[in-house]
Every structure is written in C-alpha cells, then in structure tokens.
Amino acid sequence: MDRDATLEAEKAALRVMMIERRGGIAEQSRATMSMAIASHVLALPEVVSARHIHLYLSIPASTEVSTSAIIDGLASMQKQLSVPVIQNGELLTAAFEKGCALRPAQFGQPEPEVIMVADESHLDVVLLPLLAFDGRGHRIGYGKGFYDRFLRRLLLKGITPFRIGLSFFQQQVDAVPADSRDELLDGVVHEHGITRFNSNL
C-alpha cells in the first residue's frame, strides 16, 4: 500500500472511531456543551472584532456541535454572516441571514434556498466542523476535502481569516494523520474554552 493509500486508510479508521465516540455523547450533554461552546466563541476577541464570519449550519439530526446559539449571538452583534454551499464540487461561501428560508443540500446540511455567493476576500473568521483534532492544529473532517481546498484557495489569494474548529473536548486525539494537503487550524473551541495552536495569536 502506497503512502497516500495508507494515509487515507488511517483517516477512514479515525473517522469511524470518532463518529462512534461523538455519537456516544448523550443528547442533553451535547446541547449543554454546544451552548458552552457558543459562549466561548462569542467572547473571542477575533470574533468580537470581526465583520464577516463564515460558519456552518449544523444538521439538526447530527451529533456535531450545534451552531444555533452562535448564529443567534452573531446576529445580535450585527455581524455579516455567510455559510458553506457546494457548487461544482467546491465549497463557496454564501450570504446568510438568521431566519432565511433553508433547504437540505447535497450531504444533508442546510443551505439558503436563495444562494447569493458572498465576497470571500472580506472573511475575518471561519468556523469549521470537525470529527477530530490534535495538539498541532490538524483536523479531520468528513472526508471530502471541501474545507481544506477552500482554506487553501483563500490562502493563495492572500486571504487569511482566523480558522476556528468547533468540537467537543473528547474529540481531541494524540495525532491526526495528515500531510501537506491538510490545512491547519488557528484554534479549536470546545466546552472548556479555546485551544490555540499559534503562539503569535
């Protein structure tokens, strides 16, 4: 098995393990921890000072961190919001307002019924979902590579938003299998606060 195939097999095994681990968290506990995560996110200096924030719309039936309270808070702070949409196999950021009509998209995630692609050059913060993270700032997602390509595209354009993963603390692992194609996070917000990965931030 070559190096790429080995890496992908390691990632696939970790995804299975982490989906099971996250699914083992009681629904009420997930709701309580999601509220704590929202409070930490809304207090972050990078979020308070941001104008344009990209975040995912959590899937109601999923076990991922809920972004509902974050959206409520950011809307009350009058932040410009955008959310991920997939077009032609790539992740774009689309304008979003709290209360707008939504529809289920390709992978079950909500997206606006009316898609208006936003100007990604003005992004200050990106809030990402994840299945696992480690102490180096590596994350593992759902295996499609959308966010890695999205973040790399921004970087190549000189756009450097603060990259925050949203996670329950027990999703941290010793090491996420990764290579140069995997984009690093600046921090992960969990129910206990934020873990930062760059000492200059």
**DSSP letter, residue 90:** E
Quick: pLDDT tens for 52-81. 999 999 987 889 999 999 999 999 999 999
For residue 189, CA distances in Å to 26, 39, 45 come to 20, 10, 13
Query: In the structure, what pLDDT confidence band is assigned to residue 37 with cuts at 50, 70 and 90?
Result: very high
Q: Indicate the domain borders of the chain.
A: 3-196
Q: How far is CA 85 from each of CA 22, 161, 174, rounded to the nearest angstrom?
A: 24, 18, 31
Helix (H) or strand (E) holding 152, with range, is helix 146-156
Entry pTM = 0.94
Rounded CA-CA distance 102/96 in Å is 10
Q: What is the pLDDT of residue 201?
A: 40
CATH number of 3-196, picked from 3.60.20.10, 3.40.50.10420, 3.10.129.10, 3.90.340.10: 3.40.50.10420
